[in-house]
Structure 1
Amino acid sequence: MATREVVEKFFELLAAGDPDAVAEAFADDIDWYVPGSPSLPWTGHRAKAGEVADYLRTLMANIVPEKNVDEVQALLVDGDHAVMLGRFTRVARNTGRTYEMPIAMHLQVAGDKIVKMYLYEDTLKVSEAYAG
């Protein structure tokens, strides 16, 4: 599969909301990074595909999923790299605060699996939404 096809399938799986199916889009060994702080348990590095499903379950437990708005504005592909530019809107479950921000996601594909995913978002905005 081409990089674009793998990445588009990943976004389809994310939209469908099945954490285990999303994890299957990743190679066994991965380089996954979501910036944040220790107070946000879904942030940080992940190194194994099995950790992807746990990440999504933890994230879903901390947001109000039915109020998510994910907008992909562009998908740029160069060889085995893809960059998605878009916007996220989330509601923090513990505070009820809504936060919206532009985001970028860098993905790298090897064969038909994702081997790297870095999310770039406004970490201050996210932290403030969850602060008590």
Structure 2
Amino acid sequence: MSQHTQEESVRETVGTFFRLLGEGDADRVADVFAEEIDWLVPGDERLPWVGRRSRREEVPEYFKLLWPALVAGASEITFDKVLVDGADAVALGHFTHTAKATGRRFSTPVAFHFTVADGKLVRLHLYEDTYAVSRAMDVTG
């Protein structure tokens, strides 16, 4: 596969991830992942969705823990750019959410680092302002 074709495939796979994410079906989001994955969402370990995951079947749990912690319909999610280099992609954007438990609204720049192999995501690392998330969720003590 040429580099151009590979990068088109990576861009398409990342686009599918974001489209499925927007549809709000955690089980379908998992379909875009390979069986074995390198998933990292760092943050305060008192938040149940943070941490590492290594299997596709663990993906829906992340969303099923996160989504109920946010006020439905109050989120603003934008992506400014997706950069692709070989099998890797970086998506840059911004999240604004409202924590259901506290009513606090918070914003954070975000960056996703994806790696794609054979049309499936094998890596998702999410980088955001984890302190802002923890404060909004009232776990900073």
TM value normalised by structure 1: 0.97
Aligned counterpart, 1:87: 94
Which protein is bigger by CA-based radius of gyration?
Answer: 2
Aligned counterpart, 1:68: 75
**Unaligned 5+ residue runs, structure 1?**
none
* C-alpha distance in 1 between matches for 2:26 and 2:82: 22
The reply on whether 1:128 has 2:125 as its aligned counterpart is no
Aligned counterpart, 1:8: 15
TM value normalised by structure 2: 0.91
**Unaligned 5+ residue runs, structure 2?**
1-7
Structure 2 counterpart SS, 1:67: coil
* C-alpha distance in 1 between matches for 2:47 and 2:15: 27
* Pairing of 1:91-102 with structure 2 (within 5 A): 91-102=98-109
The reply on whether 1:48 has 2:48 as its aligned counterpart is no
| Greater mean alpha carbon deviation, residues 10-19 or residues 61-70 | 61-70
* C-alpha distance in 2 between matches for 1:65 and 1:75: 26
- 1:84-130 per-position Cα deviation (integer Å, ceiling 9, x unaligned): 00000111111010001111000000011000000000011111101
- One-letter identity of the residue aligned with 1:73: D
* C-alpha distance in 2 between matches for 1:25 and 1:67: 26
C-alpha deviation, 1:78, in angstroms: 0.4
- Alignment length (residue pairs): 132
The reply on whether 1:57 has 2:64 as its aligned counterpart is yes
Aligned-pair identity in percent equals 45
C-alpha deviation, 1:64, in angstroms: 1.3
* C-alpha distance in 2 between matches for 1:103 and 1:84: 8
* C-alpha distance in 1 between matches for 2:103 and 2:63: 19
| Greater mean alpha carbon deviation, residues 97-106 or residues 63-72 | 63-72
* C-alpha distance in 1 between matches for 2:96 and 2:108: 7
Moved over 6 A (4+): none
- 1:5-64 per-position Cα deviation (integer Å, ceiling 9, x unaligned): 000111000001100100000001000000111211010001111111011010011111
- One-letter identity of the residue aligned with 1:110: A
